Structure 1
């Protein structure tokens, strides 16, 4: 009996030691730095598992989807009901002093930010280039930064598959040849947006795989947005016209009262969709999915 007791005690101590060894191993594995390669080939040493991420880009929704809470985000972009941003701390994306006070261990900025070298003295700083990646690739890259690449890949694939199926359903109802234009119709100016420029373009063009108006596509510069002369409005407007506005309703200005607007094909056929700019400006997985739900409902309603 005494021998059996001693044997069991030894076994218990062995299991505890193994458990502690695994914890120590995991702890060491989760600490330290790793090298991240930016889109231009630059190497940045970042924490393997950052705990205080400062997001000075429009990617808050990517981190929210991954279960990561940034210590603060940029103040440049509006609140979105899709992202529930009301309680998130915001700072000026060029305010180095404000960033330093937050003591981040990883900073994410746009490549165009003039203070990136100063941010890099505070914490490892990763600059990203707008439009170099689609919404899926962007999410996966954000996942890499916080050691959640596999989760990000799974989430991106799941949404991509869902939107592709929804796109087929939409095309089956409205036709494969229908074209789409995304425009911001202001009092004095009109702007048009191509793929990878927010405003719902990721859901429409990349998610649903719907077609751009061919003449607008041909005229669109590499930046994927352009100012449209009023006399070209109907030339660049597709079968469906998508208008992000401040309140998600039809603009109240002289242009929408003009003959140019009234003679527009999409306007005459009731194929104009209005939606809120605050939600449409983002292109993270949460926002793209919500935008897609709205567009699908409206497009099938307009069939």
Structure 2
């Protein structure tokens, strides 16, 4: 009787032992999986924003931009998942925004669905407190930093400080080289105006209002007409009427126009007789692609100025 029951007892011991090993393996697998989940969490660093320290991902991979920093982020090779309407409508950005959603600060559910790991906006952007609940949010006060310092600040934010510094150095070098060539061709005292028009309204711009003004005046030190300097330099821009256009036109004019703008002014006698017009020194540009001053836009503007002033591609 004892000998006959021994194999059954042995089988029972082996079965219980196997179950124990299986449970042990399952438990070990869970610990390993937990470790993988832990390692998958993004590394966070502290960014010193203008409003204090903010914990942000060391290497952001899904960024929503609600200000004019989209070109900065693009240039630094950071993946965007959402941008505002201004960026979406900029022709220079089109190649980089395939699959990127257009959003506003009111689209909280849509932004949340994009699962951003970083949101960038202005200090005046709506719903900041609610955006912070979706992802780490960093804001900047518009105009507090100049256009190059702003790019460097974005570079620091997304852990691309060296890349930002390298581009700025290259930009200075290229702009200064172009300055010498342009002045050698048109003269150091030749004046250049940057004028915008939309819906029969006209604006003349100073040296920091996009549309190439940073390059023309700050980098290449081309001269603006005295009246432009008097009226537009300090405020950044100055609205003028069609009747006084001749007073604000320099020897060369960059005319920034929105698509579909009224061009009837070009048929008036007062416009046709402006020296810059008769000399074919008025160059029309698309305001949507020319109004920004980020690296993508500045590279485009540099190439454009080289073309119109020197006749080179």
Q: How does 1:16-165 map to 2 (within 5 A)?
A: 31-38=43-50, 42-77=52-87, 78-81=89-92, 84-87=95-98, 88-165=100-177
State the partner residue of 1:208: 220
Matched length = 271
Contact 2:175–2:302 (CA<8 Å) still a contact in 1? yes
**Cα distance, 1:242 vs structure 2:** 0.5
1:259 offset after TM fit, Å? 2.2
Seen in structure 2, the aligned counterparts of structure 1 residues 253 and 67 have a Cα distance that, compared at 3 Å, is: closer
Q: Deviations over 1:201-233 (max 9, x none)?
A: 233223322222221121127541221122332
Deviations 1:154-179 (A, max 9, x none): 11111211111111110111111122
Change (3 A) 1:86 1:181: same
Structure 1 residue 81 displacement after superposition: 3.8
> Taking structure 1 as reference, are residues 76 and 285 closer, same or farther at Cα in structure 2, changes over 3 Å only?
closer
Taking the TM superposition and a 5 Å limit, the aligned residue runs for 1:118-267 are 118-220=130-232, 222-246=234-258, 253-267=263-277
Q: 2:47 aligns to what SS in structure 1?
A: strand
Q: Is the 8 A contact 1:76 1:93 kept in 2?
A: no
* TM-score for the superposition, normalised by structure 2: 0.78
In 1: Cα distance, 2:204 partner to 2:244 partner: 11
2:298 aligned residue: 288
Give the helix-richer structure, 1 or 2. Answer: 2
TM-aligned CA distance change 1:173 to 1:74, over 3 Å:
same
Inter-partner Cα distance in structure 2 for 1:103 and 1:226? 42
When residues 187 and 104 of structure 1 are mapped into structure 2, their CA distance, relative to the original with a 3 A threshold, is closer
Q: Cα offset for 1:82? A: 5.6
Displacement after TM superposition at 1:144 (Å): 0.6
Please tell me whether the aligned partners of residues 175 and 215 of structure 2 are also in contact (alpha carbons under 8 angstroms): yes
> Is this contact kept in 1: 2:197–2:258, CA < 8 A?
no
Q: How far 1:147 sits from its partner (Å)?
A: 0.7
User: 1-side partners of 2:215 and 2:114: how far apart?
Assistant: 34
Please tell me whether Structure 1 or Structure 2 has the larger radius of gyration of its CA atoms: 2
Please give the alpha-carbon distance, in whole angstroms, between the structure 2 residues aligned to 1:96 and 1:242. Answer: 39
1:299 to 1:257, Cα distance in 2 relative to 1, 3 A: same
Residues 104, 245 of structure 1: CA spacing in aligned structure 2 closer, same or farther, 3 A cutoff? same
Paired with 2:249 and 2:271, the residues of 1 have a C-alpha distance of: 10
CA 81–48 in structure 1, closer or farther in 2 if over 3 Å, else same:
closer
